[in-house]
């Protein structure tokens, strides 16, 4: 009878030590899950932004070929926008007829770096762009060109576009007005494009993703092996 009573008492609940052990295990599992999310969250956000930029550039490449017009990508350290070459006015203008190619701003903690033909490009900040736009709004519009001078062939337009990009590469940052912004990456109407590499990084993290063309000219996202989860 005594032994049966002892067994019943022992099976009636957990001891204090057992409860404490369970609490410690739950705490360890919770901390591990939080740390895992903190490491993979920023990387997922970088990958999402990299995939978006790659998809938009592939789309712009297709639209340039379909519409036979020169397009381009202009970057700041925290945003990017697509431009189209206006052959009549001989300048680059924002794309207003395609909502997919509207200007985009990156999340607050993400920064952009750009290499063209293997050389680092110093990108303007969003603040620089705002100052440039404000300065442009206070200037008088330029005198329109005559119809005769504004009529150019497609080949001439492409040459002017290339020359414009070359001019910008030697100009100091912020020297161009909003109406004279030139793309960093050319997307030609024949499907070709400037050799480039966009690197997206996050403040306070070593994680990065690269957006660049492959050997077939398609834009891909490359994630360093050490950041693959």
Phi and psi of 44, rounded to 5°? -65, -40
pLDDT of amino acid 183: 96
Sign of the CA dihedral 125, 127, 130, 136? negative
User: What is the average pLDDT value for the chain, to the nearest integer?
Assistant: 77
pLDDT of amino acid 182: 92
pLDDT of amino acid 150: 35
Q: Where are the domains of the chain?
A: 2-227
pLDDT of amino acid 214: 93
Euclidean distance between CA atoms 185 and 75, whole angstroms: 9
pLDDT of amino acid 26: 82
pLDDT of amino acid 137: 61
pLDDT of amino acid 136: 63
Looking at domain 2-227, its CATH superfamily turns out to be minor pseudopilin epsh domain (3.55.40.10)
pLDDT of amino acid 181: 85
What's the number of CA atoms in the CB half-sphere (13 Å) around residue 2? 0
Q: pLDDT tens, 156-198? A: 444 444 444 444 443 433 334 444 789 999 999 999 999 999 9
Which regions in the chain score pLDDT beneath 70? 1-13, 30-42, 133, 135-179, 225-229
Sign of the CA dihedral 46, 50, 56, 59? negative
pLDDT of amino acid 172: 38
Count CB-CB contacts under 10 A for residue 156. Answer: 12
Euclidean distance between CA atoms 47 and 142, whole angstroms: 42
pTM, two decimals, is 0.65
pLDDT of amino acid 41: 63
């Amino acid at each position: 009878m005594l032994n049966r009573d002892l067994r019943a008492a022992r099976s009636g609940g957990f001891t204090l030590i057992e409860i404490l052990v369970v609490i410690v295990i739950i705490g360890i599992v919770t901390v591990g899950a939080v740390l895992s999310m903190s490491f993979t969250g920023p990387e997922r956000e970088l990958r999402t932004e990299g995939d978006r930029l790659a998809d938009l550039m592939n789309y712009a490449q297709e639209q340039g070929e379909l519409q036979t017009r020169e397009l381009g990508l202009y970057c700041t350290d925290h945003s990017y926008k697509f431009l189209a070459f206006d052959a009549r006015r001989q300048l680059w203008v924002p794309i207003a007829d395609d909502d997919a190619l509207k200007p985009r701003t990156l999340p607050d903690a993400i920064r952009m770096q750009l290499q063209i033909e293997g050389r680092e490009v110093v990108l303007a900040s969003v603040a620089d762009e705002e100052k440039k736009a404000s300065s442009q709004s206070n200037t008088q519009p330029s005198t329109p060109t005559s119809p005769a001078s504004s009529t150019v062939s497609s080949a001439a337009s492409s040459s002017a576009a290339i020359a414009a990009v070359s001019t910008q590469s030697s100009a100091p940052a912020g020297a161009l007005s909003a109406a004279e912004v030139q793309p960093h990456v050319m997307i030609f109407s024949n499907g070709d494009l400037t050799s480039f590499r966009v690197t997206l990084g996050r403040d306070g993290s070593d994680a990065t993703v690269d957006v660049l063309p492959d050997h077939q000219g398609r834009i891909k996202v490359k994630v360093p092996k050490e950041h693959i989860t």
